């Protein structure tokens, strides 16, 4: 059995996941030692975590073992282990299923407790689990948010639609949903609104921007698409690298930092009147599709940030315990 | 009105409402979230409306909240089609996080919700142990292990003494030193309602775990929570 210090930088996810691949390649080009913990090797992976005043542990994959305490920086892109074909086939009552869940839970726990720089800690990513909750954060850091109604009242939703003329609806939770514009064909389903709080937003016209914040670095691009939600567009989507006004760039950095996110993808829109709206902050952005089209070196920046953490530059000092007591949702 | 947010199958709210008999108390469960009437507007033009115990309640009438559930579970959603329950549970949980956070600006919410749990920090045991150690409280390290073949995880250290913190009040038949430790942990984490378990009631006992959803079988705790929500954090029942 070989025991290593993990090369100080740990990547956890799937080797074929484009952001993981891009960051691993960038780290290797920079001559950094990197350990990729492949989630697919779940049956061959063992983990041990010991938590007291310190956080220690080790991970063994087949004959290779590494020390979790020696990891100084980590980039996480884990998928739900229950969805892996091998685990799903084994079924809920299988030992493999139980093991996969335990493994995932222990590593997530480590990621929340380690003093290493983690992009991003699971507890900090959780803000993205509620869009209106996150919107309150966004608004409190100077961005505009669209007029929003969350309701179980079909009549109130109709009135909101009349008031704004163009309205979109989307999930309240972090579950990925296609942002859609309300049309007459939705009217027949309006009574379903009473079953569950549903989120409606005024449509905000303007130029769409995707902004990736990587530590202190900012990568912005415009996104031009005819679709309500460009992520699902069947038509061509045009992306062009661009600079943000200094104040907007600073606001983006501040917002990501306030959320303790060292890596974040912000969806912004600038109206013809020059007002900047922020719709969402993604704490685990799949940045490679933007990088490929804009040639912006985002993976290089992520690798630099991880290397910085591995060198012990103190970037990991994000609050681990305090639940941001100063924060209050805007009324 | 004091509002209790709870799982529809939980009997605890019923006992608390009975204990708080003379006060105006309502219980919100997932079934209320499947009724027309909820209105939450981002621009604050109106205060909003809630559905509490199947009745419409203007939000401004809410004077305090006790949250007794970490999230909405899909098993509660018997009125929802089975294939939609998982999604609806996530949507309702996300909505409640927003609503409870927003209520903090008008009244006391016990506990304040966190993005990963509606009733405060519902942490794994190892995170509580690490936090307690950072607060200078003696702990027994916890070992977790996952390997195939699966074996039972390490048995939890048995706890034989519990201290419960409610605002400035502390309950529990333990040495003063342990009460101070429980207070220190609650302050560090920023939580107002916390059950802290120790290996024993004596001085020198070690921290075992903590829970932001304490056991309400003790009437004294229900009284203290009522006093907190009615009179503010500074007073004890």
Residue A232 has a pLDDT of: 65
Is B195 part of a structural domain of the chain?
yes
Residue A183 has a pLDDT of: 87
Stated as kind and residue range, the H or E segment containing B162 is strand B161-166
Q: Which residues of chain B neighbour A151 with C-beta distances below 8 Å?
A: 38-40
Confidence band (pLDDT; 50, 70, 90) for B188? very high
Domain count, chain B: 2
Residue of A nearest to B139 (CA): A52
- Same-domain pairing of B73 and B105: yes
- Same-domain pairing of B93 and B150: no
pLDDT 10s digits, A138-164: 999 999 999 999 999 999 999 999 999
pLDDT 10s digits, B39-55: 999 876 667 999 999 99
Can you tell me the distance from the alpha carbon of A116 to that of A315, in angstroms, rounded to the nearest whole number? 9
CATH classification of the domain holding B8: 3.40.50
Looking at residue A197, what DSSP letter applies? Answer: -
The domain boundary, picked from B110, B143, B162, lies at B110
Which among A52, A98, A146 has the least Cβ separation from residue B150?
A98
Please indicate whether, in this complex, the C-beta atoms of A152 and B37 are within 8 angstroms of each other: yes
Q: What are phi and psi of A323, to 5 degrees?
A: -85, 45
- Residue B183: cis peptide before it, omega within 30 degrees of 0: no
Residue A326 has a pLDDT of: 30
Residue A138 has a pLDDT of: 96
Residue A322 has a pLDDT of: 42
pLDDT 10s digits, A8-20: 899 999 999 999 9
CATH topology of domain A147-199: Dna Ligase; domain 1 (3.30.1490)
Q: Annotate B168-219 with DSSP letters as a single string.
A: TEEE-SS-HHHHHHHHHHHHHHT-SEEEEEES-SSTTPPEEEEESS--TTSH
The CA-to-CA distance between both ends of chain A, in Å, stands at 58
Q: What are phi and psi of A111, to 5 degrees?
A: -60, -30
**Residue A275: alpha-carbon gap to chain centroid:** 25
Residue B154 has a pLDDT of: 62
Residue A137 has a pLDDT of: 93
Is B164 part of a structural domain of the chain?
yes
Residue B219 has a pLDDT of: 86
The CA-to-CA distance between both ends of chain B, in Å, stands at 19
Task: Give every residue of chain A whose pLDDT is below 50, as ranges.
Answer: 1-3, 6, 314-331
Is B221 part of a structural domain of the chain?
no
**Residue A33: alpha-carbon gap to chain centroid:** 25
Is B236 part of a structural domain of the chain?
no
Q: Output the CA angle B118-B77-B192, nearest 5 degrees.
A: 15
Contacts of residues A31-36 at CB distance under 8 Å and 24 or more positions apart, as own/partner, are: A32/A7, A32/A8, A32/A303, A32/A306, A32/A307, A32/A310, A33/A6, A33/A7, A33/A8, A33/A9, A34/A7, A34/A9, A34/A10, A35/A4, A35/A6, A35/A7, A35/A9, A35/A10, A35/A11, A35/A66, A35/A71, A36/A11, A36/A12
- Same-domain pairing of B60 and B8: yes
What is the domain extent for residue B150?
125-211
Please indicate whether, in this complex, the C-beta atoms of A321 and B134 are within 8 angstroms of each other: yes
Q: Min CA distance, B174 vs chain A (Å)?
A: 23
The domain boundary, picked from B59, B83, B110, lies at B110
Three-state DSSP class for residue A231 = helix
Q: Where in chain A is the domain with CATH 3.30.1490?
A: 147-199
Please indicate whether, in this complex, the C-beta atoms of B36 and A109 are within 8 angstroms of each other: no
CATH, range A126-146+204-283: 3.30.470.20
Confidence band (pLDDT; 50, 70, 90) for B237? low
- Same-domain pairing of B52 and B29: yes
């Amino acid at each position: 059995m070989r025991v290593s210090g993990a090369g100080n930088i740990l990547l956890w996810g799937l080797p074929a996941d484009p952001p993981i691949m891009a960051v691993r390649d960038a780290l290797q080009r920079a001559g950094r030692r990197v350990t990729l913990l492949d989630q697919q090797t779940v049956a061959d992976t063992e983990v041990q975590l010991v938590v007291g005043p310190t956080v220690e542990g080790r991970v063994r994959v087949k004959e290779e073992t590494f020390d979790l305490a020696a990891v100084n920086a980590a980039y996480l892109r884990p998928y739900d282990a229950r969805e892996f074909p091998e685990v799903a086939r084994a079924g809920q009552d299988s030992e493999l299923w139980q093991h996969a869940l335990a493994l995932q839970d222990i590593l997530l726990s480590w990621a929340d407790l380690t003093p290493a720089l983690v992009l991003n800690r699971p507890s900090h990513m959780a803000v993205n689990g509620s869009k209106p909750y996150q919107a309150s954060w966004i608004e409190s850091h100077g961005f505009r948010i669209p007029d929003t109604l969350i309701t179980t009242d079909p009549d109130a939703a109709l009135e909101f639609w009349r008031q704004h003329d163009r309205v979109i609806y989307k999930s309240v939770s972090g579950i990925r949903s296609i942002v859609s514009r309300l049309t007459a064909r939705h009217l027949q389903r309006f009574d379903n609104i009473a079953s569950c709080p549903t989120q409606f937003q005024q449509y905000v016209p303007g130029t769409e921007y995707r902004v990736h914040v990587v530590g202190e670095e900012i990568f912005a691009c415009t996104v031009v698409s005819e679709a309500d939600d460009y992520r699902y567009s069947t038509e061509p989507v045009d992306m062009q690298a661009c600079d943000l006004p200094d104040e907007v760039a600073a606001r983006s950095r501040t917002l990501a930092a306030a959320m303790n996110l060292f890596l974040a993808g912000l969806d912004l829109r600038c109206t013809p009147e020059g007002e900047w709206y922020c719709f969402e902050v993604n704490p685990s952005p799949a940045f490679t599709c933007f990088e490929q089209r804009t040639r912006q070196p985002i993976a290089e920046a992520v690798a630099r940030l991880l290397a910085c953490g591995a060198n012990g530059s103190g970037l990991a000092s994000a609050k681990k315990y305090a639940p941001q007591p100063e924060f209050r949702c805007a009324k | 009105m004091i509002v209790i947010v709870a799982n529809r199958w939980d009997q605890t709210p019923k006992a608390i409402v009975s204990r708080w008999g003379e006060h105006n108390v309502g219980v919100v469960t997932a079934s209320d979230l499947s009724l027309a009437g909820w209105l939450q507007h981002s621009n604050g033009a109106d205060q909003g409306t809630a559905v509490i115990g199947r009745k419409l309640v203007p939000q401004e009438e809410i004077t305090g909240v006790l949250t007794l559930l970490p999230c909405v579970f899909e098993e509660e959603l018997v009125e929802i089609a089975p294939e939609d329950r998982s999604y609806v549970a996530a949507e309702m949980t996300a909505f409640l996080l927003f609503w409870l956070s927003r209520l903090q600006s008008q009244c006391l919410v016990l506990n304040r919700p966190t993005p990963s749990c509606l009733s405060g920090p519902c942490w794994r045991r190892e995170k509580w142990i690490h936090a307690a150690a950072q607060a200078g409280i003696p702990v027994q390290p916890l070992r977790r292990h996952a390997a195939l073949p699966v074996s039972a995880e390490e048995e939890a250290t048995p706890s034989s003494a519990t201290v419960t913190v409610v605002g400035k009040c502390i309950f529990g038949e333990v040495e003063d030193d342990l009460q101070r430790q429980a207070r220190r942990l609650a302050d560090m984490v920023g939580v107002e309602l916390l059950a802290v378990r120790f290996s024993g009631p004596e001085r020198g006992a070690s921290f075992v775990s903590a829970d932001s959803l304490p056991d309400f079988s003790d009437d004294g705790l229900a009284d203290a929570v009522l006093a907190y929500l009615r009179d503010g954090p500074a007073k004890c029942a």
